[in-house]
Amino acid sequence: MRIFWRPFGFLRRLFKVESCSVTKSESLIPLAWTSQKLSKAPGIFLLDQRKRFSTMPEIERGQRDSELFSPPSDVRGMTTLDRTAFNKTVTIPVLKVRKEIVNKLMRSLKRAALQRPGIKRVIEDPEDEESRLIMLDPYKIFTNDSFEEAELSILKQLNVSPQISKYNLELTYENFKSEEILRAVLPEGQDVTSGFSRVGHIAHLNLRDHQLPFKYLIGQVMIDKNPGITLAVNKINNIDNTYRNFQMEVLYGEENMMTKVRENNYTYEFDFSKVYWNPRLSTEHSRITELLKPGDVLFDVFAGVGPFAIPAAKKNCTVFANDLNPESYKWLLHNCKLNKVDNKVKVFNLDGKDFLQGPVREELMQQLGPLSKERKHSVHIVMNLPAKAIEFLSAFKSLLDGQPCGRELLPIIHCYSFSKDANPAKDVQQQAEAVLGISLDPCSSVHLVRNVAPNKEMLCITFRIPAAILYKNQALDLENQEDPPPFKRQRTDKAFSEEKTTIA
């Protein structure tokens, strides 16, 4: 008898049950839940009810746990995906009950019932249509003595015999998670890729050298195991070109780089092969947006397709967004219209330095001019180009003419950078100070954005640009200037270390 069913609405599982007789010698053998290939005949067996079956060493359980629900060992080294090679039979305990009491009983057998994702815990009894078989956890239930007192009590109350049978469960490729499949296939002891960046329908992987011989298989597995993913790609170079995009290799699926994503309730459309997009920066986009207040002015120097600019515009900020990449500029315009903020965002296609010394300078001259004392909103400048943004800080030197405005009205810079230093917060501050030629101790804070790679952090240094830097012919006198919150507080190395630990 074959039973087909569809858990979670999209995967198929196949089970096969046949009746077999049990010899006296079999009934006396302690149950060691076993696994075998599908060529072996599956079946249901009664178990001897002996207390000695109910105890097993913890180490042995752990070893068997990794074996029982793991793919067959002979898939190791597979480079061309053969889904049938993952077929396997495992033997687990089952409890026979009347079908009308299944729902009530399952509430009381949560501890004992099999919890394996993707496997149905209640199936039809092939020998009795009025009964059902409840699959039990093979590492908790060995005989009726393995049930807890409360469980035995409910079984007795519902007139259910605690007699345990064993059941041959057929596992197929679809029963295994992507991590389990790749761990079984890749060389033993090597890192397994089970995660990826999802960009709409695209799975973006960054494979390591030892994973490259298996890259096409990995791409297939990612698509198989993640509904909605139809294309898997691998990054094959670093982001080191002018336009901040990178070369990608298609691993599996229909090559379609045009994608649509939702982030923080905003929609973005773009060609992923031609622009920069990193879904792991979603939290950082939100963090900066939350710092802004309606009426504030935001200059986004390296805007990409708009993940900072569009949320800020939706918050009724005045936004100036720039990107050198013509494709990013095109999709930035498109996404502003898509999110209905095109009337609040002025878009530019300039080099970052030209943007700062052109449109930004002109707007700051107005924002910080004679009437600036009446201004109640803040000016923020976001520079999200971690590999090079700090170099662009030099564009602020002597940027403005005239008398400086009040310190509380000076623009707030959010500049991103990478660091491989043992003290990354201090390193990023020193990088910025070296470019500006001034100490930022009184007015800066450093925020850990994410861990990019082993010993490589992405950080954001935030500070109010000193008037002595921003205005021409200003004396360097910061010692007696008091910083208003939130920039008066300097994050300590200890605080940064604690934040890093929390995020990791």
Binding positions for S-adenosyl-L-methionine are: 285, 323-324, 351-352, 384
| CB contact at 8 A, 417 and 461 | yes
Q: DSSP secondary-structure letter at 277?
A: -
Alpha helix (H) ranges present in 307-441? 309-314, 326-338, 352-355, 361-367, 424-436
* CA–CA gap between residue 236 and residue 251 (Å, rounded): 11
Work out the burial of residue 483: count CB atoms within 10 Å of its CB; fewer than 13 is exposed, 13-18 middle, 19 or more buried: middle
| CB contact at 8 A, 313 and 283 | no
| CB contact at 8 A, 429 and 397 | no
Q: Which secondary-structure segment (H or E) carries 417?
A: strand 412-419
Q: Which residues make up each annotated binding site?
A: 285, 323-324, 351-352, 384
∠ CA 473-474-478, nearest 5°, is 160
One-letter-per-residue 3-state SS of 336-368: HHHCCCCCCEEEECCCHHHHHHHHHHHHHHHHC
* CA–CA gap between residue 311 and residue 264 (Å, rounded): 8
Q: Which secondary-structure segment (H or E) carries 153?
A: helix 149-157
Beta strands in 154-310 (DSSP E): 164-171, 197-199, 202-205, 231-235, 248-253, 258-263, 266-271, 297-300
Axis crossing angle, helix 215-225 with helix 178-185, rounded to the nearest 10: 160
∠ CA 447-453-456, nearest 5°, is 50
Tokens read off for 211: 């994973």
Alpha helix (H) ranges present in 239-349? 282-291, 309-314, 326-338
* Cβ atoms within 10 Å of 482's Cβ, excluding its own: 7
* CA–CA gap between residue 186 and residue 218 (Å, rounded): 10
Cβ neighbours of residue 475 closer than 8 Å, sequence gap 6 or more: 468
